[in-house]
Amino acid sequence: MPEEVLFETERGMDRAEIASYLRTVADKLDGDGSLSLSAGDQNVALDVPNRPTFEVKAERETNGGPPELSVEFELEWDEGQDAGDGGDGSLSIE
């Protein structure tokens, strides 16, 4: 299935700024699950269901230059319905 990007932004930030954004997302997930994202002329509103799939991925990319490390956090669900628990192990983040 082709992917349609509804919203995307990328910029350098210090860790405290990133932590603030992640806290806001956590608060929204603890609340009613509604997220509104905006940057420039981009806007999208999402209602996260009660049980989305949560994916955490750490990667190392090598493209001829110095390796680039990343950590990705992703929430995924079928549009219009709640997703199942979608995992086979427990997650620990320390």
**For each of the chain's 94 residues, which pLDDT tens digit applies?**
689 999 999 999 999 999 999 999 999 999 999 999 999 999 999 999 999 999 999 999 998 899 999 999 999 999 986 544 445 567 776 6
* AA identity, residue 72: E
Task: Give the three-class secondary structure for 89.
Answer: coil
| Residue boundaries of the structural domains of the chain | 1-48, 50-86
pTM for the model: 0.81
Which own/partner pairs from 38-47 qualify as long-range (CB within 8 Å, at least 24 positions apart)? 39/7, 39/9, 40/9, 42/7, 42/8, 42/9, 43/7, 44/6, 44/7
